[in-house]
Each structure stands twice: as C-alpha cells, then as structure tokens.
Structure 1
Amino acid sequence: MATQCDIAIVGGAMAGATLALALANQRRPDGGSWTIALIEAHPAAAPSHPGYDSRAIALAEGSVRRLQRLGLWPALAPHAQPISQIQVSDSGHFGGLSMNADEYQVDALGQVVELERVGPALWQALARHDNVQLLCPDGLAELQQHQDHVSLTLNSGTTIKARLVVGADGTGSVVRQQLGLGLTRQPYGQHALIANISCERHPGIAFERFTSEGPLALLPMNEQRYSLVWVQQPEQAERRLALSDEAFLQALQNAFGYRLGRLTKVGQRAQYPLALCRAERTHHHRCVLVGNAAQTVHPIAGQGFNLGLRDVEALADRLQQALQNGADPGAFSLLADYSEQRADDRNMVTSGTDALVKLFSNPVRPLALGRNLGLFAMALFPDFKASLAKRAMGWHGGRPR
C-alpha cells in the first residue's frame, strides 16, 4: 500500500526543511493540519559542533523577519552570527560605501548561519511533529501525475501518493527533470572558491570587494572565522586550490587588504562553477518548484537562499489559506497564483544579479570608472544608499512584517 499524504516535499535542505516546518505548524480552526512527507537524499546529521570547515549562508534582515513570522527563527537563532555592518569596495579605485545596522533602526543587517548547525536544528524541530514523515536517506526515482494525486516511487521502493509535490531539491532538481520542465542555463565562465578563514580582528562586518577577476566576499562567523567566497577564472581557482595554506593566505591578503588584520588560517578549500539557471516554468499539474530548483543565481549579492525563502513564504501563505478553507493544496489555481506572485521578484533578482556580475566582473576602464562613481554617489546621497540597503536587507516590496 502506498503512503498517502497531503504534501510531499522532495529535498530536505534549507528550502525544503523550512517549508516543511512552516506547513507543519499550520492549523485549521478545528485543529486539523496537513500531512507531510519530507524526502531527503542525504542522511540526517546528528547535532554536533560542525567543525572549522562548516559552510555558511547569509540571511538578510528581511529573511530573518520572514522566518520569525513563520515561527522558524527560534530553531535557528542560537546558531546565528549578526552582521553589524556591510562594507562594499572596489579594488584599486576610490569608490566604496558602508551600511550600518543603526542607520536603519535594526539590530543587524542580517545573520550568518552555519548549515551544519541549522540543518540538524530544523530536523529536530520537524521530528517533534506527528504530521510529518521524514524519509531520509531516500530519493525520488519516479514521478507520475494523476488527476487527483501524484504518485512518487522512491529509491528505497517506498511509494507515496500526494495531493501536492514540492520540488525543493536544488539546481539539479529531479522533480523538475521528471516533469520535463525546461531549464535555461547561462554559464558565467567563473568559479567560486570557498573556504573558512581566521583573522586577527573579527568586527562582525560583512565585506564585498570587487576585483578585476570577480567579487570577493567575507561573511563573519563565530570563533574568529570568516566565510570566504572568492569568484575568479576557473584556471586561477585551480592554481589557488593547489597553493600551500601560507601562499593562499598571502594571495588573499593581497587581494583583500588588512581590514581584518593579518589572515592567520585557512581551512579546507573547494570550488564550483557559476551559472544563472532559471526554470522555464515553476509549476505543473499538482507540482511546484521552490528555491534553487526554480532559480539559481550568482553569489555576488548573497541573494540565493533569501530569494528561495520568499518562495517558501509565498507558497506557505497560499497553503495556509487553502487549509483554512478546506481547499485542495494541489489545485491548479493555487499553484498558478503562487507562480504569478513570485514572477516579478524572481525576474528582478535574477536579472539584477546578472547585471551586477557583468558590471563588476569587467575590467574595462569606462565601466570601472562608472561603477566607482556609482558607489561614490551612493555613499554621498542617503536616498541612493537606502535603496541599496533595503535590497541588501531583503526588504522587497517594503519592510517585512
């Protein structure tokens, strides 16, 4: 017999787990709730100290507010490092600006969380809900759509019948592939080199520095660490991966400067290719995509998960209304409304991020002069700077509730 549920979520990383927890907390007036199956290919990690090389993501201030509204922030807050200031600069040029939390009457411009800490915290919270079935480790083998449900066959042989299937399984989404939804992929010819760095000073400032190769970002973490994302040509990334720790730190010091004092330690280094990926459709009969399954953007402005979280919030809101009204969670009208609601934000962020990549990864002198004049103007004129700050904090369409 197939397991039956209202909603099956394929992918249990940040987007899938936050959506599952948001939906698990929803209730009808009579106390009823959705039944949810969460399918994740990787084994659930046991709660532990993540170690030096834990990967991190930046949550914009608006994303933190959204997580608070969805009732999810208490599970993440103990593992977060506040960002008190953001500094933007352009290597070799005069343009630059800084944004401070107190300028915008917020406690922090954002929070940096370590994935190896928040993942187990979210799964622990999910395990306390008796309306959530956790299928882990397992993966989607086959998907078949029917008039009133979708049949899922998992790698383990388990079968599930769900009224709605959510693809939250990342850029290589199996859900998207099984549905035959097209994906446009625009490679940037760049790789992101990632690592954790220790330094002499740790002021809680996030840095974005534009170099002739590409942007270099450093996000504050706890224990005197910073999370590095260094965008560069693939050949250069390969060479820097092969450097000794001392030589790598010196190369990074030369590119970044001494804003954090001397860089003292680098952890395990890795790289991955960068591309702009967009699903041509984000919904199909009783199926919908969220997060990187719908769009994957360049890390230049740290918008990836924050954009995906707005997908989660919008879908959770639609499903809350459906639950209250006793409506079908997989109804075509619900999914079409969700996709229409998300279209402008999705297009604006993907197009805007793409434009930033082209502007700030181009060493041509007139473009370099123009972007530095732009940074200088934003530093001088509060309205320009406030507009940038609102985008950095994820205040799309106004300050979140």
Structure 2
Amino acid sequence: MKNFSPVWNYYSRKDVQEALLEVAKYREVVGVFSNENFGKRPNMLIYPNDILEMVKEGVVSFHGSVERWSNPMALQSGMIKPELDRLRIGWDLIIDIDVPDFEIAKLATKLVVEALRDHGIKNYSIKLTGGNSFHVGIPFEAFPEKINFQKTELLYPDLPQKIIEYLKDYIRDQLKEDILALDNPLSIAERLKKSITEITDKDGLDPLKIVQIDSMLVASRHMFRLPYSLHEKSLLVSLPVEFSKLDKIKKEDADPLRVKVVDKFLDRRIDLKDANSLVVEALDWSERHGITEEKVPYTGPKRIIREISEKFFPPCILKCLNGLSDGRKRSVFILPNFLRNMGWKWEKIEKEMIEWNKKNTPPLLERYIRTQLRWHVRQRRNLLPPNCDNQNFYLDFNVCLPDEVCKGGTEKITIKNPVNYPFRKMKRKQ
C-alpha cells in the first residue's frame, strides 16, 4: 500500500483509536482499501488492535453501518426485513450532502442544519467527509421510542427516507437563492464541470441537480465513513465540525498531521429527545405528497367562477382561521388548499396566512410559513384539504364542530370534505 507509514502513524494514535471504537459500538464496520474496494463483511471493531490489524492488511478507511445491531456478526447477505428487524436496535439519520464544490457544500450544509434548528433539534452534528462535502447526523437517541405505536428501530429505512425527502423540499428554494447569490448558472456549471442543461429545468436553476441528497442511499446495511477515519482517496480525516466554524473550515484542516480529536459526531445524549417535531412534519409532508387528485362530488357548480366569502365557510375552517395553539402546522396545509378551492387568488391567500399566523399561540416562524406557501404555489393543480373523517386533522386538534349543514338534516356528519360545505350552504339558502 502506498503511504502506509502516514496511515499507520495516524491510526496508531490512542485518541483516534478511542474515537473510532466509541462510534463503532453496535455497528457493522468494514475496512475500505485505497482502490475503494471493501473488506469482508460482516466485521466489527472492538479493540484498538482490531484497527491496526486491518491497517496491516491495507485498509485505509473505516465505514460503519447507519443501523445499530444487537450482534453485527450475525448479519448475512440476503436476509429479509423481519430477520434484520430482529437484529436492529436502532439507526442514526445520516444526511449525505453530495456536491463536488466545497463552497456550495457549505451552503447546503448550513441550510440543512438551519432546517433542523427550525424544527427544534439541538442534537445534530456535522463532519467533513474527507472529500468535498459534509455529513449531517442525528443520533437515534433524539427520536421518540415509538411512532404511531411502532418501535422506531423498526421504521428503517422508510422513516429516514421520508425525513430526508421532506428536508430537501424544505430547503430547496432558499438553496436556489443562495447558489445564485454565489454565482450565475453558467459559472456554476463550469465550476461543477457540467453542462448548463444538467443543472437546470424549465424553471431555471435546479438546486437539487447541483446538490445531491439521495434518500434512496438510506438502505439496509448502508455504510458511512466513520468520524476520524481517513478518506481512502484523499487521505484527509473525516472530521467533525462545529456549526459555528462551518464557514471558516478548509480542507487543510482535515490533514491528519493537524487534526485533534475534540468534537464528536453522533453524540448519544439520551436526554435530548428533540426530533419529535421533525418526525411529525416529515410524515405529514409525506402523506400530502401521497395524495392523488380526488374528485369531490360538489353540490354546486363544478368550476368556481367567483370568490366565495368566509360567511359560507364550515365551522372547522373558521375555527382554524381564528388562530390555534395546537394544529398550527397541519393548518398550514389545510387552509391554503381550502382557500384555493374557494376561488381565492394566491396573493390574498398569502396575505391571509401571514395575518392568520399572528393569531396563533405562539406564532410559527415566518420562514416556515413562507417555505410551506412556496410549496403550495408550485403545485400545478388544486389539492383538496384532508377529508372530514381523517383522524389526524380536524378531530385530532379539536376544530371539528359540526353544525346542521355538516349533518345535512341527519344525526351524523354527511359532508365528505370541507370544500363541499359552502356549496351545500348556498344551495340551502336558495
């Protein structure tokens, strides 16, 4: 192996060995050679000598599983999900920000972290990959023990995939603005050694064609380069970085001769169960994106040709519009969709939502409101708000207050969706 001496000297450091062994607990760990080939699987790191023995065999880099296992050595190729579920005791969320430009990678990483902070997460960490980009991680300890009555360790890879897709959508517009503030599209394409068509679409620059954050890489037995491991090609350290130092970090800071083992990546502070809000938002977002266009049997005209006023709105919508303490974020999905179906122009909807937020206790971050509104305005069709019987919405945060119009002269709610209500009410007045 070329450069054996610096690799051996680096991994002979006691502080490096301790850092690797700490993060390797309950993980499958595999060595990677300078030709990027992986060593035998499954494998583990338990003792300092395990590291040195693998280096003697030519290993340069150490990759660990995103999943944590009760017995990593029991893993076998071809195992089906129930077999893997029995061994899995947890998983960490690793957001792999892949872009060949170091400055753009910093922009994207900063936005991902700010998105996590918007959702109340403090237990995140960042590390250089040892290449051109960064990983952002959230340890399993930050997540609730159960989600929808299922143990969280059983929700891999579905839940982390949904979280990553949600975060990509959350940062998309701001990422586009930040990249364009850095340079024009032609120059960006040159920096990335790509053609302009590879980084644009019909709406102009597509930031997610520049910054790859692929949720499909979150798969069974997926590996990531461990913190304080060397990169198998660059021989730079996969170095944890404090968020406050992100703007100033340079690749040279990851030189193994300069690196000090100080910061941690995936610090398992069990007192910080702070990912609940992110989970709820990601699942709600995923549910919304799973919505197919539904035909509602209107009792009025099929096409709205004029704006319908609030006096015809159902009690649940009026309750939401008065401001909420619970259900605020879900209402950011409900209200714009309802108002669009009422023939309201987008400018009026946006103004209404900003004013509505001031009535909430407490108000949501305005950045959150505007991000969600940008998602709504990108939709090519009018989506419906959730149906009245959806247990996760009106009933769950106590705004379902059915009146005679809702019941249609019966003892039960007969209206399917809030958008039906105005047409039924107008028909009764005729």
TM range (shorter): under 0.3
Bigger relative CO (Cα 8 Å, ≥ 6 apart): 1
TM-score normalized by the length of structure 1: 0.23
Q: Which has the higher helix share?
A: 2
Q: Which has the higher strand share?
A: 1
